[in-house]
């Protein structure tokens, strides 16, 4: 079984990747599994730059093929914010962060609350050029959180075609449509190609 480091401490994210890569002969590790506590600073100005920084940085630390993603929420009415700062938007986390976003959008009507989730995945291999893929999911920011599933901004992100927020969807359905799922499926093709070339991951 070949090995792949998923450069995250987020168990929810690890489970999403594990589900999508289930048919590949891979043993997935998180940063926690390898005891890696070093933080690769996300100094890039784009999701792609940050994903590459993390993938190549943690590949160097672990010696393993490494998948890293940078993802976030872009709200049109906020000029694309929070963007690459999604995880630290407003300097708060959890429910307080959701409330901070809602406060920023207090006077914005429904038809102007268009947003999108973006995910860029970079896969860095010791013997192969780093490759990047992207997934995008469009939606609308709700006026209040809905649902108990998912994580991050999922309770506020309403998907029109589903008539539900991401937090109201089953993990199976979210894994079919989410920005990360789209990017992960593209990443899966890279991993499968590498395996067919007998290059470890």
Q: Report yes or no on 201 lying in a domain.
A: no
Residues with catalytic roles: 70
54 marked as binding residue? no
From 86-90, 106-110, 141-145, 164-168, the region with the lowest mean pLDDT = 86-90
Between 51 and 196, the higher pLDDT residue: 51
Note whether 66 and 59 are within 8 A (CB).
Answer: yes
Within 13 Å of residue 191, how many CA atoms lie on the same side as its CB? 28
Q: Is residue 134 part of a domain?
A: yes
pTM: 0.86
CATH number for the domain harbouring residue 150: 3.90.950.10
* 143 in a labelled binding site: no
Q: What confidence tens digit (pLDDT) does each residue in 4-55 have?
A: 999 999 887 888 888 888 888 889 999 999 999 999 988 999 999 999 999 9
Q: Quick one: which H or E segment has residue 61?
A: helix 47-62
Q: Is 157 assigned to a binding site?
A: no
Question: According to the annotation, is 151 in a ligand binding site?
Answer: yes
Number of separate domains in the chain? 1
d(CA 161, CA 164): 8
| Domain membership of residue 104 as a residue range | 2-196
What tens digit of pLDDT does each residue of 166-184 get?
999 998 898 789 898 899 9
Q: Is it the case that residue 200 has pLDDT exceeding 70?
A: no
pLDDT tens-digit readout, 118-129: 999 999 998 889
């Amino acid at each position: 079984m070949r090995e792949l480091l998923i450069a995250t401490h987020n168990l929810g994210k690890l489970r999403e990747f594990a589900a999508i890569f289930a048919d590949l002969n891979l043993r997935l590790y998180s940063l926690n599994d390898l005891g890696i506590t070093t933080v690769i600073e996300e100094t890039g100005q784009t999701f792609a730059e940050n994903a590459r920084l993390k993938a190549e940085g943690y590949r160097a630390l672990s010696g393993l093929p490494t998948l890293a993603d940078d993802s976030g929420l872009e709200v049109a009415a906020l000029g694309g914010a929070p963007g690459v700062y999604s995880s630290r938007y407003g300097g708060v986390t959890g429910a307080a962060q959701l409330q901070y976003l809602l406060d920023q959008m207090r006077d914005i009507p429904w038809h102007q609350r268009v947003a999108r989730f973006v995910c860029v995945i970079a896969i860095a291999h010791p013997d192969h050029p780093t490759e990047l893929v992207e997934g995008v999911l469009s939606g609308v920011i709700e006026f209040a959180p809905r649902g108990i599933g998912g994580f991050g901004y999922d309770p506020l992100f309403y998907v029109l075609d589903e008539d539900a927020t991401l937090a109201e969807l089953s993990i199976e359905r979210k894994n079919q449509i989410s920005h990360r799922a789209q990017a992960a499926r593209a990443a899966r093709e890279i991993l499968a190609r590498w395996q067919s070339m007998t290059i470890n991951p």
